Amino acid sequence: MKADMEFSLVHDGRQWVVHNDTLVARGDKFETLDADLKRALLETGKFPPGARVMVFMGFDFDTIPTWLRQYHTHYFNRFVTLDL
């Protein structure tokens, strides 16, 4: 599956955060995270309102404590279709 944009996903202790070199979006649940990301994408002006954008969010496993990484190497990834 090909994504239009790729982001790194982390949890800062309070909220889910997605970011790449140019964008940051946050939300306490995935629903609010996705809504904030839609807003951020529209603000860039790269996508017109009504556009459909496929987004990949790869969880940054480096945020898992080092001692735990030896037990498992993958958390999860998300593919989300956003209708802007």
Partner 1 sequence: MLSTEDWWAVWLGLILFFAGLFTIWGTDLVGWMTKIKTWELTSLISDFSWSKLLAPSGKAYKDMHPFLSLLTTYAVFAALVCVGAYFQRLNVKRFFWGFTIIFFITWAVWIIGHEVHFKALKTTQSVMQSEIYGPDVYCTTKVNKCSVEINKALKALNVDITAGQQPDAETAAKAVDEAKHALRLSWGLQLGGGFSYMLALAVGLIIGNLFKGFARFLKEAAKPEWFIKTAIVYLGIKLGLMSMKATGFAVELALAGAAATFVAYLFFWPIVYTLSRKVFKLRRDASAVLSSGISICGVSAAIATAGAIRARPILPVAVSMLIVVFAMVELVVLPTFYSTVAPDQPIVNGAALGMTVKTDGADAAAGAILDELMVANNYRATGVLWESDWILSAAVLTKIWIDVFIGVWAFLLAVIWVYKVERSPGEEHVGASEIWFRFPKFVLGYFIAWFTYVGIAIWFPEAIKAASAGASIVQSPMRKMMFMLTFVAIGVITDFSKLKGMGRLAVLYAIALFAIVAPIAYVAAYIFHRGMMPPVVAG
Per-residue CA distances from 25 to 33, 41, 58, 67 (Å): 6, 9, 14, 29
- Please enumerate in sequence order all residues whose Cβ is within 8 A of that of 9, keeping only pairs 6 or more positions apart, or say none: 16, 17, 18, 57, 58, 59, 60, 77, 78
Q: Does 49 sit near partner 1 (CB under 8 A)?
A: no
> How far apart are CB 23 and partner 1 at their closest, in Å?
17
Of the residues 21, 45, 49, 66, which one makes contact with partner 1 according to CB under 8 A = 66
Pattern 18-47, partner 1, x by CB under 8 A: ------------xx--x-------------
Interface residues toward partner 1, by CB under 8 A: 1, 11, 13, 30-31, 34, 54, 59, 63-83
